C-alpha cells in the first residue's frame, strides 16, 4: 500500500500548485529513486515475513491434521476376535495344536520332559533293572496270587504289604482322575489308562499324564448318580480305602527290622520287587499334583490347602483328602467359558 501510493503520487502528480498565492513556491515531490528503495525494502521484508508465516501456518495445520488423523487411527478400539463355540479364539494355535483351545498356545515343554522321563524309565525297566532271581520272582507272584498252597514258606511281611497297598493305588487314582482329571482338549479317555494301571501301575499312567490337557469337561447331575461316579464320589469308598491303607501300613511297620532287611536284599536282586517298589514311589510322587488339581476343580483350595502337605504321605495323605473333599454337586467341576469371562 505504501509503495503503490507513493508510485501513484510520483507518476501522476509530478508537481502540485499551491492554492495560496502568497506562497508561489513549488513543492517538488520526493524523488522516486529515494522513496522506492526504502519503501520496497520494508515491503519485501514484511511480505517475506507474511509469506513465511503463512507457509509455517499451513505447514503446522497440515502437521496437526496429520497427527490428529494418526492418533485417531492408532487409538481406535481393537477389532474383537471372533470366538468359537467352545469359547476359544479363532485364528490362533489352540491348546491342542489344532485351534481347539481357549486361545492359549500349548506348552509342550512339560509333556516332552514327562515323555522323556517315561521313555528313560521304560529303558531302565527292560534293560537295567536287576534280574538275579527270575524263578524266585515267579514263585513270589504265584504265592501272592494264592496260586500256591501252603508249602511251609512264609512270605516277607513287607513284600506282602507292598503287594496289597499296590492294589489300592488304582482305586485312589480313579477317584482323583474321574471326573476332574479327564482331558477335554485332547479328547483322550482316561479309563483305559486306569484299567491298565491295575496291572502296570505308574508305568501305564504316565502316558496319560503326557497326553492330558485341562480343563475337564463339565459334569452333569445324571453322571453323578450313575456308575462309576456314584461309587468313586462316595465317602464310604474313601473311608474304606483309607482304613485299608492304614491297616496295611501298620502291618508293614510292625513287621520288624529283620523283615525290612530281607526286603532290601530282595530289592537289590529281584526284578519283581525292584519294579514294584519303584512303582509305589512314582504313584506316591504324582499323587499330590492330582490332589491339587481335584481341589482347584472343586473350588476348595481356600479351605483344603492344609491337606496339600499331608498328600505327600504315601496313600494315607491322598486318602484323607478323598474322605474330606466336598462333593461335586456342591462345587461344579468346570463351566463353559463365555465372552464375559474374557472381559
Determine the pLDDT at residue 323. Answer: 95
Q: Which residue's C-alpha cell is 510322587?
A: 285
Confidence of residue 75 (pLDDT cuts 50, 70, 90): very low
Cβ pair 294, 220 in contact under 8 A: no
Q: What is the DSSP string of 173-185?
A: HHHHHTTTT--SS
Determine the pLDDT at residue 125. Answer: 96
C-alpha grid cell for residue 280? Answer: 509305589
Is residue 224 over pLDDT 50?
A: yes
Determine the pLDDT at residue 207. Answer: 95
Determine the pLDDT at residue 55. Answer: 56
Query: What is the overall mean pLDDT for the chain?
Result: 75
Determine the pLDDT at residue 286. Answer: 97
Confidence of residue 48 (pLDDT cuts 50, 70, 90): low
SS3 state at 210:
helix
Is residue 8 over pLDDT 50?
A: no
Listed by start position, the domains of the chain span 2-74, 108-342
Cβ pair 307, 321 in contact under 8 A: yes
C-alpha grid cell for residue 335? Answer: 463351566
Write the CB contacts of 27 (distance below 8 Å, at least 6 apart in sequence): 15, 16, 18
pLDDT tens digits for 254-270?
999 999 999 999 999 99
For the stretch 247-255, contacts whose Cβ atoms lie closer than 8 Å and that sit 24 or more positions apart, written own/partner, are 248/161, 248/164, 248/165, 248/168, 249/161, 249/165, 249/315, 249/316, 251/157, 251/160, 251/161, 252/157, 252/158, 252/161, 252/162, 252/165, 255/156, 255/157, 255/158, 255/161
Q: Per this entry, what is the length of the chain?
A: 343
- Average pLDDT on 116-125 reads 97
Q: What percent of the chain has pLDDT over 90?
A: 49
C-alpha grid cell for residue 321? Answer: 483328602
Is residue 62 over pLDDT 70?
A: no
Determine the pLDDT at residue 186. Answer: 59
Lowest mean pLDDT among 44-58, 108-122, 309-323: 44-58
Is residue 289 over pLDDT 70?
A: yes
- Average pLDDT on 2-30 reads 44
Q: What is the DSSP string of 130-160?
A: --S-HHHHHHHHHHHTT-S---SPPPPHHHH
Confidence of residue 83 (pLDDT cuts 50, 70, 90): very low
* Burial annotation 256-286 (CB, 10 A radius, 16+ → b, else e): eeebeebbeebbeebbbbbbbbbbbebbbeb
3-state helix, strand, coil in the chain (%, to 5): 60, 0, 40
Is residue 250 over pLDDT 50?
A: yes
Cβ pair 253, 118 in contact under 8 A: no
| Dihedral sign from CA coordinates of 144, 145, 146, 150 | negative
- CA max distance for the chain: 168
Determine the pLDDT at residue 188. Answer: 85
The larger pLDDT score, comparing residue 24 to residue 171, is at 171
C-alpha grid cell for residue 86? Answer: 467352545
Determine the pLDDT at residue 78. Answer: 40
- Average pLDDT on 143-161 reads 91
> Which stretches does DSSP call E strand in the chain?
none
Distances (CA, A) of 138 to 133, 145, 160: 9, 11, 15
Lowest mean pLDDT among 77-81, 188-192, 201-205, 226-230: 77-81
Count CA within 13 A, CB hemisphere, residue 295. 22
Determine the pLDDT at residue 267. Answer: 96
Confidence of residue 249 (pLDDT cuts 50, 70, 90): very high
Gap between the Cα atoms of 182 and 176, Å rounded: 10
- Name which of 82, 108, 79 is nearest 95 in CA terms: 108
State pTM to two decimals. 0.66
Lowest mean pLDDT among 103-107, 110-114, 333-337: 333-337
Amino acid at each position: 500500500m505504501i509503495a503503490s501510493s507513493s508510485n501513484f503520487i510520483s507518476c501522476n502528480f509530478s508537481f502540485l500548485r499551491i492554492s495560496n498565492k502568497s506562497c508561489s513556491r513549488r513543492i517538488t515531490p520526493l524523488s522516486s529513486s529515494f522513496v522506492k528503495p526504502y519503501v520496497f525494502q520494508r515491503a519485501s521484508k514484511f511480505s517475506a515475513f507474511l509469506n513465511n508465516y503463512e507457509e509455517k501456518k499451513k505447514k503446522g495445520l497440515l502437521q496437526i491434521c496429520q497427527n490428529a488423523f494418526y492418533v485417531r487411527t492408532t487409538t481406535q478400539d481393537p477389532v474383537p476376535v471372533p470366538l468359537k463355540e467352545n469359547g476359544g479364539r479363532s485364528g490362533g494355535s489352540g491348546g491342542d495344536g489344532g485351534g481347539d483351545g481357549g486361545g492359549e498356545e500349548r506348552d509342550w515343554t512339560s509333556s516332552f520332559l514327562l515323555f522323556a522321563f517315561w521313555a528313560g524309565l521304560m529303558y531302565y525297566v527292560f534293560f537295567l533293572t536287576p534280574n538275579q532271581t527270575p524263578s524266585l520272582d515267579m514263585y513270589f507272584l504265584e504265592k501272592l496270587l494264592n496260586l500256591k498252597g501252603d508249602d511251609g514258606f512264609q512270605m516277607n511281611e513287607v513284600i506282602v504289604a507292598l503287594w496289597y497297598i499296590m492294589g489300592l493305588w488304582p482305586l485312589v487314582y480313579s477317584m482323583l482322575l474321574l471326573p476332574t482329571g479327564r482331558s477335554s482338549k485332547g479328547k483322550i479317555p482316561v479309563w483305559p489308562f486306569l484299567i491298565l494301571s491295575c496291572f502296570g501301575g505308574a508305568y501305564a499312567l504316565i502316558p496319560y499324564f503326557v497326553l492330558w490337557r485341562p480343563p475337564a469337561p463339565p459334569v452333569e447331575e445324571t453322571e453323578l448318580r450313575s456308575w462309576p461316579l456314584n461309587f468313586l464320589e462316595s465317602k464310604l469308598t474313601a473311608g474304606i480305602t483309607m482304613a485299608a491303607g492304614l491297616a496295611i501300613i501298620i502291618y508293614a511297620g510292625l513287621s520288624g527290622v529283620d523283615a525290612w532287611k530281607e526286603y532290601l536284599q530282595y530289592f537289590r536282586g529281584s526284578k519283581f520287587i525292584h519294579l514294584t517298589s519303584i512303582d509305589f514311589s512314582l504313584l506316591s510322587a504324582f499323587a499330590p499334583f492330582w490332589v491339587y488339581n481335584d481341589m482347584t476343580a472343586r473350588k476348595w483350595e481356600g479351605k483344603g490347602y492344609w491337606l496339600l502337605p499331608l498328600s505327600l504321605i504315601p496313600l494315607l495323605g491322598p486318602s484323607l483328602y478323598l474322605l474330606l473333599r466336598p462333593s461335586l454337586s456342591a462345587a461344579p467341576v468346570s463351566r463353559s467359558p463365555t465372552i464375559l469371562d474374557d472381559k
